[in-house]
Chains A and B, each alone.
Chain A
Amino acid sequence: MKASPVTVARAVAPVIALLLLQGCGRPTPPQTAGGEKGQDVAAPKAAPTGKAGFSPYTARSYPTRVYWGDQHLHTSWSPDAVGAGTRVGPEEALRFARGEEVVSSTGIPVKLARPLDWLAVSDHSDAMGIMSEVIAGNPKLMTDPVLKRWNKQMNADAQQAYAAVLEGIALQGKGQLPTPMKDPAVALDMWHKMTTVMERYNDPGRFTAFIAYEWTSNYGGGNNLHRNVIYRDGKALADQLSPLTTFVSENPEDLWKWMQSYEQRTGGKLLAIPHNGNLSNGLMFATTTFKGDPITRDWAETRAKYEPLYEVTQGKGTSEQHPSLAPADEFARFEIWDKGNLNVVPKTPGMINTEYAREALKNGLAIEARVGANPFKFGMAGGTDNHTGLTTAEEDNFFGKFPSSEPSPERWSENAFNFEGRTVKGWELGASGYTGVWATENTREALWDAMKRKEVYSTTGPRITVRLFGGFDFQTQDARTRDLAAVGYAKGVPMGGDLNRAPAGKSPTFLVAAMKDPLSGNLDRIQIVKGWLDAKGVTREKIYDVVWSQAERRKPGKDGRLPAVGNTVDLATGTWRNTIGEPELVTVWKDPEFDPSQRAFYYARVIEIPTPRWTLLDSLRFGVKMGPEVPMTLQERAFTSPIWYSPS
């Protein structure tokens, strides 16, 4: 193994490089089932039919329930959060996610409409908890002139405090944070406190508190390469290694090495979830290695192993697909943030091509054809990325990204981001998203295993139930079965799975079903998004409307497009009626343009009818009039993990 040339040579870098070398130099431990590189954790199978007890449901070994959670939440232990005024710590964040009422950082009592089933508090590993010490004026840190100045600013007013935070983000991006913030001893101490809190609130069967952190690489100045690292393990293993910080490396390849090192030393398991490719200025899904070399099979397998999921939607925009890359996709223009990177450094042409999920899934097929492995074989996750300690993703209960965007009459018009005059406005923040996990039980192990095998999906907030199965033998009548999952698992693979070598004359068939969130809008339609690599080696995509509401009167036009579902939102009251759409949609769909020699993927996109966006509800609650640029309604949606087809 060679030491990575882009590992930034800072004081601690040589030491960690040595550590990594030691880790990699060891003989490979015996492979355990499901632990092989590139091979997914064994997927659950339908229980063999045989002598059953009275209840036909007790013998089931496949997931029958979706567990809802957020894998991306910051609390006052994140330096940028506490600097911006967040006072909600990890403990209150967990209590809130479990359904308890807490008081927000701006003094507003807040409670979720429904509890979540799990939460990963993913505070930044860089200087975790240290900004609190800066505010509190820890004398150890006050020897640094910059920290001393920040301390003054953070204790002055909100505007100055936020300026200090932005300066911190910028310096972090350039690798120039004040030295005391990089003190590993301080960081490790906070990590142990964090894992203690998580352990206390992890309640197997009831509520899962994942140990997690965010590795926050802003390589090159605000190019978002962030990853949330999620532990399958408890405190005993997690405490053995301090989280990787970007003071050690900003290169994701070094994160994978660190993860490998952790797994080898502790016997534990980790996965990483990248997010905000839309703010990476072309780097998130670059089709080369970090250094710019061609991707190798080994590189592709390593990325696919450690990064089985991608956060496709969150508060800073949705990264499913950019409208310019999919002109035929009428739903692509949804919560798009495409001005620049995290520091609002403007994009140059071409960057968009390697930032969005669908495009990456397509490019992954092309790379696989070339090197024999697909580096971008990921499923879909959602998270809020809120820095308030409050995981709010519902439009009528949206507490913003920072305390400055907690409910107020001004939040829509203020700058959510401001870097040297390059701004993103408050109204552009989205109340999104959550991850639904098809797991057998609510434990760290079961949920993590489902994430690893990609049997998860993301939504922009509503708890839409979605099933997707792929196989070669689904029949129309399977959509009318009383037990969809039993048929799905018996005849196919669930979302996140693989189909190989189509039998002669057969095309992939998909059993897809969705049920609305009881508290949200009806469903407009289910679409299957297909991406493939054609005979010339060019990536292609096509979107099929496979089942929709009011089908008896909504027929596709000459252009093949389905008429819009309509809009029942009353802008004067902020209400809507479920007189359009359907509570449930289900169908079996067969790919009409299948070529068994071509690689492909298929995922489902479920679209709700229009409902009020948080901006409309704010305008009514606070009696403010917003500009014409501000959207007042939206069509919430769910994105499932894909099912891949491979000819070999």
Chain B
Amino acid sequence: MKWIGRALREPLLHFLLIGLALFVAYDRFGPAGGDGERIVVTRSTVDELSRQFTARWLRPPTEQELSGLVDTWVREEIYYREGLVLGLDREDPVIKRRLRQKLEVMQEESLGGDAPTDAVLEGYLRRNADRFREPARVTFEQVFFSGSAPVAEVERSVAAARQALERGADPAALGQSTMLAQRLDDTPMDVVSRDFGAGFAARLAELPTGTWEGPIASAYGAHLVRVSARRSGTLPPLEQIRPAVIREWESERRREAATQAYAEMRSRYRIEIEAKP
């Protein structure tokens, strides 16, 4: 280990060590500004640049590419700082908007990214039950009479079909053929409304079950209708609709947070409007 001893006495080494110490000290404690303002490209910045590149091209950047990305980053940073020194950020509506946007995002994120607990979601679900309630469902059959026939003819056909139904005739053999479903099973009322029209759906909701009723008018003509089953709209348990509840909860919370944060900030200012807007 003699070479170590020799090396420790080597003036060049002393020079280097002193230089390094000075450099570290300057780096830590030296003044910023002048020709020495520091721009530090941290490991995490480099990693992020590399990650973005990889996501785009499905391979990591080469050394040369990465060095190019870092150069661009440094260039931007220098322009940015020079711009600030010149005061280019002041009274710039664009920068105002950008800062507002950033602050809004920060306020949203300050809500915390943790998933809401079941208790929170249960509470939200109960408070907003109407939004999550399943639509009422209905099972019914219909016999169709086209509205393009003369009214008197439709009335005669309806009366004849009603008598046939009372005698126990097969409803599928009565009336006229149509692209409308002859029978709909356990179908949400909003779907019935879209298929037959809102007026028809509203009438259907009031009919007794088990008997042939009508005629009810739709956009297409007249219908004799027999409702065989109904289900009122139930509120599904949380586990069945968790993603939807989380989505609505998050969406509402984002909106509320923004409103509250603004109100809170605004309360710290006294606004004087000199001219009537």
Residues of chain A having any CB pair with chain B under 8 Å: 15, 19, 55, 57-58, 64, 91, 114-115, 135-140, 142-143, 151-152, 155, 184-185, 187-189, 200-201, 203, 240-242, 265, 465, 467, 480-484, 513-516, 518-519, 522, 549, 582-584, 586
Pick from B35-43, B90-98, B205-213 the stretch touching chain A: B90-98
* A57-B183, A518-B220 given; 8 more Cβ-contact pairs under 8 Å: A55-B183, A185-B49, A467-B179, A514-B179, A518-B196, A519-B219, A582-B146, A584-B220
If A55-B185, A518-B218 touch, does A155 touch B179 (CB 8 Å cutoff)?
no
Residues on B with C-beta less than 8 A from A240 are: 58
CB distance from B172 to the nearest CB of A (A): 6
Docked Cα-Cα span, A140 to B72, in Å, equals 11
Which applies to chain B's interface (DSSP): helix, strand, loop or mixed?
helix
Query: Which of B79, B177, B197 contacts A143 (CB under 8 A)?
Result: B79
B94 pairs with A140, CB closer than 8 A:
no
CB distance from B202 to the nearest CB of A (A): 13
Query: Which of B55, B80, B172 contacts A482 (CB under 8 A)?
Result: B172
Docked Cα-Cα span, A155 to B92, in Å, equals 10
A138 pairs with B220, CB closer than 8 A:
no
Docked Cα-Cα span, A549 to B183, in Å, equals 27
Query: Which of B49, B57, B194 contacts A19 (CB under 8 A)?
Result: B57
A139 pairs with B83, CB closer than 8 A:
yes
Residues on B with C-beta less than 8 A from A482 are: 172-173, 177, 182
Docked Cα-Cα span, A91 to B197, in Å, equals 29
Instruction: Report the nearest A residue to B180, measured CB to CB.
Output: A515
Docked Cα-Cα span, A187 to B95, in Å, equals 21
Instruction: Report the nearest B residue to A15, measured CB to CB.
Output: B57
Docked Cα-Cα span, A91 to B248, in Å, equals 11
Docked Cα-Cα span, A136 to B55, in Å, equals 25
Docked Cα-Cα span, A184 to B55, in Å, equals 9
Query: Which of A64, A135, A188 contacts B97 (CB under 8 A)?
Result: A135
- B178 sits at the interface (CB 8 A): yes
B80 pairs with A139, CB closer than 8 A:
yes
Interface pairs (6), CB distance under 8 Å: A91-B251, A139-B98, A152-B94, A187-B56, A201-B247, A467-B179
A481 pairs with B177, CB closer than 8 A:
yes
Instruction: Type the 1/0 row for B133-156, where 1 means its CB is closer than 8 Å to any CB of A.
Output: 000000000000011100000000
Residues on B with C-beta less than 8 A from A142 are: 94
Which 6 interchain pairs have the tightest Cβ spacing? A137-B94, A518-B219, A185-B52, A518-B197, A184-B56, A583-B220
B98 pairs with A143, CB closer than 8 A:
no
Instruction: Type the 1/0 row for B216-244, where 1 means its CB is closer than 8 Å to any CB of A.
Output: 00111100000000000000000000011
Residues on B with C-beta less than 8 A from A184 are: 52-53, 56-57
Query: Which of B179, B185, B190, B251 contacts A513 (CB under 8 A)?
Result: B179
If A55-B185, A155-B94, A518-B197 touch, does A484 touch B56 (CB 8 Å cutoff)?
no
Query: Which of B58, B83, B181 contacts A64 (CB under 8 A)?
Result: B181
Residues on A with C-beta less than 8 A from B185 are: 55, 57-58
Instruction: Report the nearest A residue to B84, measured CB to CB.
Output: A139
Instruction: Report the nearest A residue to B199, measured CB to CB.
Output: A518
Residues on A with C-beta less than 8 A from B67 are: none
If A19-B58, A139-B80, A143-B76 touch, does A516 touch B98 (CB 8 Å cutoff)?
no
Q: Of A136, A513, A514, A516, which is in contact with the most chain B CB atoms at under 10 Å from its CB?
A: A136
Docked Cα-Cα span, A21 to B199, in Å, equals 60
If A136-B101, A155-B93 touch, does A241 touch B80 (CB 8 Å cutoff)?
no
